[in-house]
Amino acid sequence: METTNDNPQFSASRRTFLAGSMAVTTIGFGMPAFAAMRAPATDPFIERLLKRMTIEEKAGQLTMNGALGIGRLVNPTTGPEPALQTTLDQIAQGRLTGLFNADDVKLGRTMQQIAVEKSRLGIPLIFAADIIHGLKTAFPVPLGESASFDAGLCERTARATAIEATAFGVQWTFAPAVDIARDQRWGRVVEGAGEDPWLGCRIAEARVRGFQGADLRANDSLLACPKHFAGYGAVQGGMDYNTADIPETTLREVHLPPFKASFDAGALTTMASFNDTGGVPSTGNHHLLTDILRGEWAFRGLVVSDFNSEKELVDHGYAADEADAVLKAVTAGCDMSIQGGLYLKHIPALVQSGRLKMAVVDEAVRRVLRVKKALGLFENPYRSLDPARMGTDIRRPEAVALAREAGRKSIVLLKNERNVLPLPKSGKALALIGPFVTDRNNALGPWMVFPDMKSAVTFEQGVRDALGAGAALAVVPGCGIERPLHGGIDAAVAAARAADVVVLYVGEATNMSGEGASRADITIPKPQVDLIDAVAAVGKPMVILLKHGRALELPNSVKNAQAIVCTWFLGSESGNAIADVLFGDHAPQGRLPVSFPRRAGQEPFYYNHRSTGRPSLVEGPPVGARYREVSTSALYPFGHGLGYSTVAYGATEIGRPRIRMGESLSVKARITNTGTAKHHEVAQLYIRIRVAEIVQPIRALKGIRHVDLEPGASADVEFTLTAQDLAYVHADTRTRTDPGAFEVVIAPNSAAGTPIPFLLAAA
């Protein structure tokens, strides 16, 4: 039996503890990224450069253009396209810091050559892109991958992504998204790690480490950009771009920690979010971008605007016009503008008129140059611009194998009545029904900027490969994603009648989640529900595979199915990964990173909420905080996920009922595989702070442990709780631990187990 843990604090053994803390040490102090952050405030090389720069060149260093639509280098017959020629001229004049979402490494190299050889000061460009969950090898969407509860896996897929992206000419990714999302209506839930800050921190730092690798100057190191700073996940009503009202304590307790964890892991950039918080849009938010980021956290990297977000200060009603917007954004601490070109357009005049201090501009330029230097661009401007790597480093077999591994580890089994899963590979007639069975277009998921659609393995293909030729398989779409198909339901019902087991693959299309894709109804589209209802009425054992970028409200026919499986958007190897789990070659091991509500009207809905003064009793009389129509509990809680065996948790045991400040507490529980199959358990440690000056969550995750158990085997999982784990953000916005009463439990999910009390006394 092997136990591992992503958090060094909670390691099962000294060996894993050392490995964990060494990883932190290497990343924290050994790599250039961190060295750059600790570099003296004035770097003579950068100061010399700064002295020679004109205000236009400075504004240029703060300006990045989007490259999509620019087109390829030169069409030999028609010559360069105008947009491209303008860009090349801008580069030659030293008026552009780089491009994002360019898709041509050769063109990138040519541009770099112009920047280095033709521009007056030869400052290299930087190439960025939204490489969110893979470049050509698509890994599961970040939310799906987070369901692995395995930060190590997230680090490995980020590393593989970095190798591909840098082979494609990308040096900086606008990722990871580390927004904590507690409202499933928000389409961008799919981009992050879900609703829990602790898990969000572990996954954020892992992704940063994976993207950046051990040496930021290496050809295959991809600069990370944790985003969107900050509070973007708290947009009201889950509507993308909406306003957010976040008390300072909640901001610091819930939304900021994954950013801090990312910076501690070496991230040198961040992106200002589109939303306002309490009326102050992030791009112009001095408190966020300067007081907290640079003041409290001593962050020495750069802040980039989000796609035109400085211009949006005008639309928000926060700035009078474009120039005012630029003034407010730069002064707040937003160093670089992407897409709109407003910094280049307005900074020179703003400085000349005295409205914007040159010192503020200089500081922004310093930050940009420092990051370029940390990436090694001044010594090696052609790093990650080697077209030869396109042939060797894209879709490497090991990356594709990793996509399959990540795919299956992201799958969450919600329900498995009478062990309908795993399915036998022979002897049963299967009907594969639903709009996603043969679909390739929705396999990868949102945010693939340069998708390789044809590489996606469909579900049908995955099943056929698993079963071999001659398998008894009926394949029927039944309906489209959002529309009925003529005769579709009849054909599906006929197939179900002839089958022993029905597998229905239903859910959301790619464009139903992601940016600008919020939903008021987080449901399966009606034509699909009609299909499921009709097939369910046939009465055959039914397995529901869900495709989704968020937790969904499930219709009764899905809830009543024998098995329900979350498959998110699993990426290139989607069909293979699902087949691996469906036929039992690998048991499911994912856990929900978001709570499934019973009804959409419960949103925002998350396990780690505060207690009201009238806590609702799930089965009690209707006196507590509750809705008339529905229980306040989750349909499937955060952390839930089954395997193909059964497990039993013994009582949580603590070393002592009372500890003193400065001491640690050992917490353990015995877990037993009570079934007949191998099992991978993800034990979860939750605490509750019983009394606090800011009411605390009824439960908060503080540790996870992965345990493999043979049938009949038991293991003791043990965590060490320290005062730091019991700290919270106080009314004065400082984080500290108070003596007092606490509860702790080791449980298979956020709603299970019986917490036990302990006391923390002053030192």
Q: Which is nearer to ligand BGC, 225 or 421 (CB)?
A: 225
Which uninterrupted H or E stretch holds 83? helix 82-92
The string of DSSP codes covering 456-471 is PPPHHHHHHHHH-TT-
Q: Which is nearer to ligand BGC, 232 or 728 (CB)?
A: 232
Q: How far is the CB of 357 from ligand BGC (least distance, A)?
A: 29
Closest CA to 438 of 496, 490, 481, 401: 481
Q: Which is nearer to ligand BGC, 172 or 299 (CB)?
A: 172
Q: Which is nearer to ligand BGC, 185 or 680 (CB)?
A: 185
Q: How far is the CB of 130 from ligand BGC (least distance, A)?
A: 5
Task: Find the binder of ligand BGC among 139, 174, 644, 649 (CB under 6 A).
Answer: 174
**Angle at 128 (CA atoms; ends 175, 82), nearest 5 degrees:** 140
Closest CA to 49 of 117, 119, 98, 121: 121
Q: Which is nearer to ligand BGC, 263 or 505 (CB)?
A: 263
CB atoms within 10 A of CB 516: 10
What residue is closest to ligand BGC based on CB? Answer: 174
What does the alpha-carbon distance between residue 436 and residue 574 come to, in Å, rounded to a whole number? Answer: 11
Catalytic residue, chosen from 306, 335, 393, 439, is 306
Task: Find the binder of ligand BGC among 172, 307, 459, 728 (CB under 6 A).
Answer: 307
Is residue 273 a contact partner of residue 304, using CB atoms and an 8 Å limit? no
Q: How far is the CB of 128 from ligand BGC (least distance, A)?
A: 8
State phi, psi for 756 to the nearest 5 degrees.
Answer: -120, 145
Task: Find the binder of ligand BGC among 145, 195, 253, 515 (CB under 6 A).
Answer: 515
Can you read off the two tokens belonging to residue 652? Answer: 């949580």
* Dihedral angle, C-alpha 338, 342, 344, 348, nearest 10 °: -140
Q: How far is the CB of 289 from ligand BGC (least distance, A)?
A: 17
Q: Please report, as residue ranges, which positions from 369 to 408 form the binding site for ligand BGC (by CB under 6 A).
A: none
Residue 179 bears catalytic tag: no
Determine the length of the chain: 763
Interaction between residue 318 and ligand BGC (CB under 6 A): no
Is residue 174 a contact partner of residue 129, using CB atoms and an 8 Å limit? yes
Q: How far is the CB of 240 from ligand BGC (least distance, A)?
A: 9
Q: Which is nearer to ligand BGC, 227 or 370 (CB)?
A: 227
Q: Looking at the DSSP assignment, which residues form a beta bridge with residue 129?
A: 173
Q: How far is the CB of 69 from ligand BGC (least distance, A)?
A: 12
Task: Find the binder of ligand BGC among 130, 164, 196, 725 (CB under 6 A).
Answer: 130
Amino acid letter at 745?
V
What does the alpha-carbon distance between residue 176 and residue 228 come to, in Å, rounded to a whole number? Answer: 9
Q: Which is nearer to ligand BGC, 64 or 107 (CB)?
A: 64
Interaction between residue 681 and ligand BGC (CB under 6 A): no
Closest CA to 302 of 538, 37, 496: 37
Q: Which is nearer to ligand BGC, 53 or 302 (CB)?
A: 302
Residues 215-254: x where in contact with ligand BGC by CB under 6 A, - otherwise, as a string: ------------x---------------------------
Buried b (16+ CB within 10 A) or exposed e, 643-673: bbbebebeebebeeeebeeeeebebbbebbb
Q: How far is the CB of 515 from ligand BGC (least distance, A)?
A: 5
Q: Which is nearer to ligand BGC, 279 or 516 (CB)?
A: 516
Can you read off the two tokens belonging to residue 117? Answer: 């050889």
Closest CA to 607 of 397, 402, 751, 752: 751
Can you read off the two tokens belonging to residue 4? Answer: 């591992």
Is residue 662 a contact partner of residue 723, using CB atoms and an 8 Å limit? yes
What does the alpha-carbon distance between residue 511 and residue 442 come to, in Å, rounded to a whole number? Answer: 9
- Give how far the C-alpha of residue 81 lies from the chain's centroid of Cα atoms, to the nearest Å: 36
What does the alpha-carbon distance between residue 534 and residue 542 come to, in Å, rounded to a whole number? Answer: 12
Rg of the chain in Å (alpha carbons): 26
Q: How far is the CB of 67 from ligand BGC (least distance, A)?
A: 10
Q: How far is the CB of 177 from ligand BGC (least distance, A)?
A: 7
Q: Which is nearer to ligand BGC, 307 or 436 (CB)?
A: 307
Bond preceding residue 477 cis, omega within 30 of 0: no
Is residue 432 a contact partner of residue 467, using CB atoms and an 8 Å limit? no
Q: How far is the CB of 307 from ligand BGC (least distance, A)?
A: 4
- Rounded to a whole number, what is the largest CA-CA distance in the chain? 81
**HEC letters along 620-661:** CCCCCCCCCCCCCCCCECCCCCECCCCEEECCCEECCCEEEC
Interaction between residue 306 and ligand BGC (CB under 6 A): yes
Chain residues binding ligand BGC by CB under 6 A are 130, 174, 227, 306-307, 515
- Residues identified as active-site: 306
